[in-house]
Amino acid sequence: MATKVIEEMTRPVFDVNVLRQDFPILTEEVYGKPFTYLDSAASAQKPRQVIEAISKVYSTEYSNVHRGVHYMSQKTTDAMEEAREKIRSFVNASSIREIIFVRGATEGINLVASSWGRRNLSAGDEIILTMLEHHSNIVPWQLMAEEVGASLKVVPIDRDGVLDIDTYSNLLSDKTKFVAVTHVSNALGTILPVTELIRLAHERGAKVLVDGCQAAPHMKIDVRSLDADFYVLSGHKIYGPSGIGILYGKEKLLEAMPPYQGGEEMIDVVTFDKTTYADLPFKFEAGTPHIAGAIGMGAAVNYITAVGLENIAAHENDLLKYGTNKLKGIDSLEIVGQAPEKAAILSFNLTGVHPHDVGTILDREGIAVRTGHHCAQPVMDYFDIASTVRASLGLYNNRSDIDALVAALERVKEIFG
């Protein structure tokens, strides 16, 4: 029923109870309890529309793409390229030539660090990161800096998890060649002022990559309005399959960059004397791609576009406020990261209880949260903690999920006295 409603675009308002019917896993039980999923920042669950799109590829139209003249190859190629166009529209890129399919945001960042970095960075240059970065937007730049003799500069945050924009501005100099910044912190939920960060970097002639993994499920992305040079996101964060993502890059920059990997698909002509390369976007897509993943990601984009990013944002903001107030009412619970501009992420700790113990007890109550450093150890170091419990919300969550979390946390307190 929900599938039909979404496809016909007849639902007048956002109805979370209708939308939940699109997600088969939400009807499951864990240890005899209703399954409450509060780990969407790690990976979002998949709607039936995405599952069916992937199944259709393998059931009725699978073949390799771009190389065959037979019917199935052309049909699959068309479906994959239609997905590329959907994603181009989703981020408002100028051309499909600017949309590169990668295994995920991590590969997209590594591609830029390797290809753009080796061509443009040298000894003495500076790369600016923020303290809020996921490891995937730290380590590739460390590796490249070590290789070429560049150095990293880090923008600090305050105790609410807000970026120090004045320090960022002061760090920018003629030595700054690149800025890599998250759009939304996966550990705290802080929404960064990326438009301003990009503008200031461009005034110094630096290029900017934005990690949009945590932004894309929650807000409308417009790479042209942001003026981002590069933007990455992963399919599994936006209710699509894992193992697929996109790198957006300005066409002029991508044209000037050397290939990241060699193989089939990214070539034009190969001889033992010289190889010439395919046009964008295929220059950066060596080998057989994750065909079903790309098509599934296109279906995920269709889904959240039909639901409406504005509707999703409003719903999640309501849940965030509700959840924040509920958690603040629990004695001995501290919320880590309370920036005024936040996405739907609640990180917290209970005094005297290890986060892993909290997560284990919540699991026995059917509640899935994430515990640990969330691939953001510098953030944990700043707050002088090893880890947090993170409850992250998606479009399918409701107030009952928050109530279940609060009740289970009270159970944790009872156990630990």
Q: What is the pLDDT of residue 7?
A: 44
Marked catalytic residue, from 375, 385, 386, 406? 375
Assigned token pair, 252: 């002029």
Assigned token pair, 395: 């479009």
**Which of the 8 DSSP states describes residue 310?**
H
Q: Are 409 and 361 spatial neighbours (Cβ–Cβ below 8 Å)?
A: no
Give the CATH superfamily of 2-47+308-415. Answer: Aspartate Aminotransferase, domain 1 (3.90.1150.10)
The count of other CB atoms within 10 Å of the CB of residue 159 is 10
The strand pair at 151-155 and 126-130 is best described as parallel
- Class of the 52-305 domain? alpha beta
Please state the domain extents for the chain.
2-47+308-415, 52-305
Assess whether 375 carries a catalytic annotation: yes
What is d(CA 389, CA 370) in angstroms, rounded to the nearest whole number?
A: 6
What is d(CA 191, CA 185) in angstroms, rounded to the nearest whole number?
A: 7
What is d(CA 12, CA 332) in angstroms, rounded to the nearest whole number?
A: 42
What is d(CA 295, CA 58) in angstroms, rounded to the nearest whole number?
A: 11
Beta-bridged to residue 247, according to DSSP, are 100, 232
Q: Are 17 and 316 spatial neighbours (Cβ–Cβ below 8 Å)?
A: no
The strand pair at 176-182 and 126-130 is best described as parallel
Assigned token pair, 268: 């034009």
| Secondary structure of residue 260 in the 3-state scheme | coil
Mean pLDDT by 10 residues, the chain (417 residues): 44 84 97 97 98 97 90 94 98 98 98 97 98 98 98 98 98 98 98 98 98 97 98 98 98 97 90 93 96 98 97 97 98 96 98 97 98 96 97 98 98 91
Q: Are 238 and 46 spatial neighbours (Cβ–Cβ below 8 Å)?
A: no
Q: What is the pLDDT of residue 2?
A: 46
What is d(CA 403, CA 15) in angstroms, rounded to the nearest whole number?
A: 19
